[in-house]
Structure 1
C-alpha cells in the first residue's frame, strides 16, 4: 500500500473534551466569538474590569437559571419567574424596613416568599396534574396582583438592607464580587445535588420518562414538588440580589429574566423536554446570554429586539432537540 492510499490516523481529542456535550463546547465557542466581536466595538471589552463586571451581572441570571434548570430537567417549565423575582425583592425590602428584627430576616423572608409560590406551582403540577405552563402563568398573575395591591400601583418606597447591598455589590475577596461567589456556591450545591444525590438522579429519571421512574419506586410527586419549590426560592433570591444591586425593588424588575433564563439553560445543552443536561452547560449559557446582552446594548438594540432574539433561540433549540426526544 502506497503512502498516498494509506489511511490517515484519526485525530483524537483529549479525554475531557470527548466527555463534554457538543452543545456545551458550542456554547463556549460562541462565548469566545462574542468576546472577539465585542473587542471590535470597544477596546475595553476584554479588560479584566469589564469582564468582572459582566460576570457579576451574569451571577444574577445564573442564580435564577439554576432553578429553571431543575424544572426543565423534569420536562416542565416555570413561567412564574418574573413576579417571583419581583416578589422576593419587594418582600425582602419591606421586611428590612421593620426595625432590627426585620433587617435580620429580610433576606430569608424574601426567599421564603419565593419558596411558597414555587410550592403552589409544585402542588399544581405534581398532585393536581395541571400543566406547568398553566399553573405557573396563573401564580405569576396572582403574585403580580398581590404586589400591585401592596404597593398601590406605585414604585415601592422600601430600600434594600445593608446586607443585601453587601452581598450584591461588595467584595469579601479583593477584586472578586460577592455576587459571583454566591453564584459559585449555589452552582457547587446544584452540581452536588444533580450528580451525587438520589434527588438529582430522580430528576433525570423523571425527565426521561416519568411513568418508568414512578414504577421504579421514585416518589415522583415529592421530587417535582421540591424542584418547583427550589426554583421559586432561587428566583426570589435572584430578586433579593437585584434589589441589593439597585438598592431597592422595582415594579416588573423580573420581566427581563424569564426568556434569558430559559435560553441560558437550553443554550447550555439541557434538553428542553427534560432528562439530560449538565450544570457546566448552564454556566456557559448564562455567560453567553450576558455577553450577548452586552453586545446588543452596545449596538443599541431595543428590548423588543432582544426578546425576539431570545425567542428565536428557544425555537431553534426546540427544533434541534424536540424532534430527537419525540423519536
Structure 2
C-alpha cells in the first residue's frame, strides 16, 4: 500500500520540485539584473494566479474527460463561443447564456462519444470546427463590437479582501471538482469507467451517462473560463481560447493523471497549472525570444513526462 501511495504522489512531487527550480532560477535572474525579487512578491504571485485561473478552470474540466480515457479538443471554441455569445446577449442573461452554451456543447460531445461511439479526439475536434464556423458566421468574420458586462469584468478583474475575484471563482470550481471526484457516486463511476468501461458497465454503472456528464462538466468549465477571459479583456474575440488547449492538457498530464484514464488526483492538476503559469512568467521576465520560450517550455514538459513515464512502466 505504501509503495502504491508513493507511486501516486511521485508526479506531484516532481511537479513541485520543478516549481521550486523555476522560482529559484527566476529569483536569481531578477536579483542579478534588477536587484529585486518580484517572483516572491505576494502581489505578483496573486497576479499570476489571477491569470492562471483561466487555464486552471479549463484544466479542471478537461481532467474529468481524461480520467475516462477520452479527450476534449473542443475547449478552444467552446470557451470562445460562450464568451462571444455572452457579450452579444449582455445584461443579466449574459452569464447564464454562456453556461448554457457550455452545457449544450458538452451534451453534443457526450452523445457523440457515448452513443455514436465516435472517437472523442475526432468528434470533439469536429465540434470545435463547427463552433468556429458558427462564430465566424455570427460576426461576419470581423471582431465583435460587444463588450463584457459589469459582472463579467468584476469576476475577472476586481478584488475581494485584496484577492482577485477570479481566484475565488477558480477555488469554487476546484472545490466542486474535488467533491465530485471524492464524495459522489458520479466521481467513483468516472474512475471505474476510466479504468475499464466494460467492467464498469457489467457492474451496473450507466457508463454512457457518466461519459456525457464528464463532457458536460468540461463544457461548463470552458464556458466559465470564457466568461472570465472576456471580463479580463473587457470583450470577446475570435480565437481567444486557442492558447489554452495544449497547456490545459499538459497541466493535467504533468499533474499525474493517466492519459488513458482511471488514475489521477485534482491536486496534481492544480500543481501542474501553477507550474505552467510560473514557467511562462519566468520566461517572460527573462525576455526570452519566442523560439527559445517554446523550446524550453516543451523541454520541461518532455522531461517531466519522461520521468513520469518511467514511473508508469514500473507500475505496469
Are 1:265 and 2:265 counterparts?
A: no
Q: In structure 1, what is the equivalent of residue 131 of structure 2?
A: 143
Taking structure 1 as the reference length, the TM-score comes to 0.87
Q: In structure 1, what is the equivalent of residue 34 of structure 2?
A: none
Correspondent of 1:56 among 40, 50, 58:
50
Report if aligned partners of 1:263, 1:314 keep a CA contact under 8 Å in 2: no
Q: Give the RMSD, CA atoms, in angstroms.
A: 2.3
Q: Distance in 1 between matches of 2:310 and 2:71?
A: 16
The alpha-carbon distance between structure 1 residues 93 and 307, as it changes in their structure 2 partners (threshold 3 A), is farther
Are 1:205 and 2:199 counterparts?
A: no
**1:302 CA displacement:** 5.3
The alpha-carbon distance between structure 1 residues 304 and 206, as it changes in their structure 2 partners (threshold 3 A), is farther
Mapping for residues 18-97 of structure 1, pairs under 5 Å: 21-42=9-30, 43-96=37-90
Q: Distance in 2 between matches of 1:265 and 1:33?
A: 20
Are 1:252 and 2:246 counterparts?
A: no
User: How many aligned residue pairs are there?
Assistant: 305
Report if aligned partners of 1:259, 1:311 keep a CA contact under 8 Å in 2: no
Q: In structure 2, what is the equivalent of residue 4 of structure 1?
A: none
Q: Distance in 2 between matches of 1:272 and 1:321?
A: 14
The alpha-carbon distance between structure 1 residues 197 and 19, as it changes in their structure 2 partners (threshold 3 A), is farther
**1:217 CA displacement:** 0.5
Q: In structure 2, what is the equivalent of residue 119 of structure 1?
A: 107
The alpha-carbon distance between structure 1 residues 232 and 46, as it changes in their structure 2 partners (threshold 3 A), is same
TM-superposition CA deviations, 1:101-135 (whole Å, max 9, x none): xx111011012112211111111100000000000
Mapping for residues 1-327 of structure 1, pairs under 5 Å: 21-42=9-30, 43-96=37-90, 103-172=91-160, 174-301=161-288, 313=301, 317=305, 320=309, 324=313, 327=316
**1:317 CA displacement:** 3.0
Report if aligned partners of 1:260, 1:310 keep a CA contact under 8 Å in 2: no
Q: In structure 2, what is the equivalent of residue 6 of structure 1?
A: none
Report if aligned partners of 2:192, 2:262 keep a CA contact under 8 Å in 1: yes
The alpha-carbon distance between structure 1 residues 86 and 285, as it changes in their structure 2 partners (threshold 3 A), is same
The alpha-carbon distance between structure 1 residues 166 and 193, as it changes in their structure 2 partners (threshold 3 A), is same
**1:199 CA displacement:** 0.3
SS in 1 for 2:159: coil
Query: Is there any run of 5+ residues in structure 1 with no aligned partner, and where?
Result: 1-12, 97-102
Q: In structure 2, what is the equivalent of residue 7 of structure 1?
A: none
The alpha-carbon distance between structure 1 residues 69 and 160, as it changes in their structure 2 partners (threshold 3 A), is same
TM-superposition CA deviations, 1:3-39 (whole Å, max 9, x none): xxxxxxxxxx9xxx96961111111121121111111
SS in 2 for 1:111: helix
Q: Distance in 2 between matches of 1:252 and 1:44?
A: 31
Report if aligned partners of 1:24, 1:281 keep a CA contact under 8 Å in 2: yes
Deviating 4+ runs (over 4 angstroms): 17-20, 301-312
Report if aligned partners of 1:86, 1:249 keep a CA contact under 8 Å in 2: yes
